[in-house]
Structure 1
Amino acid sequence: MWYEERTQKNKKTAMPKFMFCCSEGRVQVPLLQQPPKILSDLLGTESGKKGLLFRKEIRTYNSMFAFTSLGARIDSSINRGKGSYVYRVSGQNYHRIGSLLPERGKKPQFAQLYIYDTENEIANRLGVIQRQSGKDAIDLQITQDLSKMNTTF
């Protein structure tokens, strides 16, 4: 929260209270749990080249395991000058989830990867990413480890 978002703006204080995020302390957020070992190892600095590759493509790996995909009409005209990137949506955000089974002749994606053709799950996940982004820098072993992590966490 910004300092100016404090509940009592007429008082200067080193310990401001905020209503929006935590109801003036009545809402307690639990501490984060330790990530599974597979993920912790990939995020650690001792992971070497494998971890570096994972961290470089972390958003892609995250997308590979999503049930849905964010859909929106993105207004990129605002990012023509210098400065920080701005993500501006025109209209409304929505989720693309699709049906539970892929259309005839189409490859599975989103939630379909979890329930359809589970024998080829990893190959299907890699195929979706490569078709959508053209990235071939996604590591098969990392993908297999993350998939295993999902079933044991």
Structure 2
Amino acid sequence: MAKLLEPSRFEAARQFMKRRARPLERAVYEHEFESGSESEVLKELAEFQNPDGGFGCGLEPDLRCKESSALATTRALDILEGMPPSDEKLATARKALATQSFRTPISRRVRSSSGSGSSRRESAKASAVFTREAEKSARA
């Protein structure tokens, strides 16, 4: 059985998001919980998109590089996946998947010391998200 957050704790979390969250996280929160605008999420997400189509610029707070990365681009695609289908959303996903961070063979990328192959999994996940969105768009 799922636990529900007590109303006072939910309100504390809501106030934190309103006052302290970055604009992107605030827009995502408002979209998810307060019928916020999809266009506001896309506008804030665009702030992290690089000219090559990939995402960086500190989108993932633990990876503050400005260059496009598979991790940041996958995070952006995760955000897009949580939104209703739209032409603008699909265009953003297409541009992101065309980025160099997804086309460069894994052996040529800088790998983490763990050698976990997470970039490969992230690329596969991003491709799956794009495929689902393209199929939804084709049916609409």
**1 or 2, which has the higher helix percentage?**
2
**TM-score between the two structures when normalised by the length of structure 2:** 0.24
**1 or 2, which has the higher strand percentage?**
1
